[in-house]
Amino acid sequence: MSTPAPDSPPSRIDFECLPQSFCSGREFVEAWARHAGLDDGETGLVVLGCDEVLSNLSRHAYRKPDGACPVSLQARLGDGRLWFRIVHCGEGLTDAEYEKFRKPPSCGERVGGLGLHVIGQVFDRVSHRREGDGWVIELSRPVVDRTSGGR
């Protein structure tokens, strides 16, 4: 991750991926969405999309008996996009599994929950990969470039 501009929110937050900790993740995501210049509706969607990722991690990725559920949530603006990087050490998905599970609710073939479909609607780029002992989920969507006024 690159060094944020001086007026940027903190670029990283670490917390336990438990429902009682999600508020700090939502606040982090909201701060970055507003920093990116998104309006209230778009900000709400970005918060919802990231919240769906955290909820899925809490529900499905962390089935560890010790209860440790660390997650790192990172954000940045770059290349005309708002980027989020979520690093966790639970069970992960591959990109192929994500595509299989995120079928739209109207297709009649839905395998996963509605949350994966929502994530794919909010973020046009979603990737999952193994990195070291953990998993990385990267999400991004275009934003208006505040320096040139274009996308």
Model confidence at 128, pLDDT cuts 50, 70, 90, reads: very high
> Is 42 strand, coil or helix?
helix
Q: Which of 30-44, 71-85, 98-112 has the lowest mean pLDDT?
A: 98-112
Is 80 exceeded by the pLDDT of residue 18?
yes
Distance CA 53, CA 85 (A): 11
pLDDT at residue 149 greater than cutoff 70: no
Say whether pLDDT at 41 is over 90. yes
What is the arithmetic mean of pLDDT over 84-102? 81
Decide if pLDDT at 150 tops 50: no
- Check if the beta carbon of residue 142 is closer than 8 Å to that of residue 151: yes
Using CA atoms, how far apart are residues 71 and 53, in angstroms rounded to an integer? 11
Q: What stretches of 22-101 show up as alpha helix (H) in DSSP?
A: 22-35, 40-56, 95-101
Candidates 40, 79, 61, 65; CA nearest to 137 is 61
Percent of the chain surpassing pLDDT 70 = 77
Residues 43-53: tens digit of each pLDDT: 999 999 999 99
Do the Cβ atoms of 88 and 60 come closer than 8 Å? no
Give mean pLDDT, residues 98-104. Answer: 70
